[in-house]
């Protein structure tokens, strides 16, 4: 199956400009003609279309709830999961180093390339075609959303819990940063200075590890 057939099957469209499709699938490791500019465009288009969909689906949601729902759909790990469902990794154009380094499976590359493809669709076929493509790819996720999911992030929830009880704010301590520069894994501990609660979290960024650690402490506090 060539890339146009794959695009038709997964996104429901074909690009008139085949060169643009090749560029959208090209990681910066292949050279200067890569997908970074298209990723910039696709990120904005995706954010708008998802915001528009959420605004329509949840007329009673406030701004904060809509923002949290949007983040749950467009954060890097969520986009990487969508990309895997689409077998996007098999379509990537990577330099030899990235191929051998597992680039076809890396969250950041998959998420960025998905955004670049959406940018290419918008540029070549227009925003309406891109809206349809996003609807096709994200339909099950849109349908599965519930307003109760629009909870504040774990670090914010933990902070508010502690402040409401007059307790000091938690300390986040970096325990380890392992792996190559392009594939770091962080381990962070969340510690409460006035109690026994302490937990570690692991993530592909320090922020993600902090959120995971905060979640674990919330569970210890019975606030999961």
Q: What are the backbone dihedrals phi and psi of residue 164, each rounded to the nearest 5 degrees, phi first?
A: -65, -15
Rounded Cα distance between 196 and 205, Å, is 26
Q: Where does residue 191 rank: exposed (0-12), middle (13-18), buried (19+ CB within 10 A)? A: middle
Under a CB-based contact definition with an 8 Å cutoff, are residues 167 and 192 in contact?
yes
> In sequence order, which residues have a C-beta less than 8 Å from that of residue 67 and are 6 or more positions away?
none
Which residue among 43, 53, 204, 210 is the active-site one?
43
Q: Is 194 annotated as a binding residue?
A: no
Q: How many helices (H) and strands (E) does the chain have?
A: 10, 3
115 counts as catalytic? yes
Which residue among 60, 62, 98, 115 is the active-site one?
115
Q: Is 128 annotated as a binding residue?
A: no
43 counts as catalytic? yes
Q: Is 171 annotated as a binding residue?
A: no
Annotated binding site: 39, 112, 115
Annotated binding site for Mg(2+): 39, 112, 115
Active site residues: 43, 115
């Amino acid at each position: 199956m060539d890339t146009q057939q794959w695009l038709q099957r997964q996104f429901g469209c074909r690009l008139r400009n085949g060169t643009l499709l090749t560029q959208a699938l090209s990681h910066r490791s292949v050279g200067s003609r890569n997908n970074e500019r298209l990723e910039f465009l696709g990120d904005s288009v995706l954010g708008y279309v998802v915001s528009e969909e959420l605004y329509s689906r949840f007329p009673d949601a406030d701004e904060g709830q809509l923002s949290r729902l949007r983040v749950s759909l467009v954060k890097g790990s969520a986009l990487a999961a969508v990309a895997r469902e689409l077998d996007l990794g098999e379509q990537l154009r990577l330099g030899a180093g990235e191929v051998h380094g597992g680039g076809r499976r890396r969250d950041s590359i998959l998420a960025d390339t998905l955004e670049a493809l959406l940018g290419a669709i918008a540029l070549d076929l227009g925003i309406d075609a891109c809206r349809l493509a996003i609807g096709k790819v994200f339909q099950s996720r849109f349908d599965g959303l519930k307003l109760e999911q629009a909870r504040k992030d774990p670090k914010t929830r933990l902070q508010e819990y502690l402040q409401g009880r007059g307790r000091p704010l938690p300390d986040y301590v970096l325990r380890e940063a392992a792996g190559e520069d392009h594939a770091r894994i962080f381990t962070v501990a969340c510690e409460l200075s006035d109690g026994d609660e302490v937990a570690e979290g692991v993530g592909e960024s320090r922020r993600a590890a902090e959120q995971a650690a905060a979640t674990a402490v919330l569970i210890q506090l019975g606030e999961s």
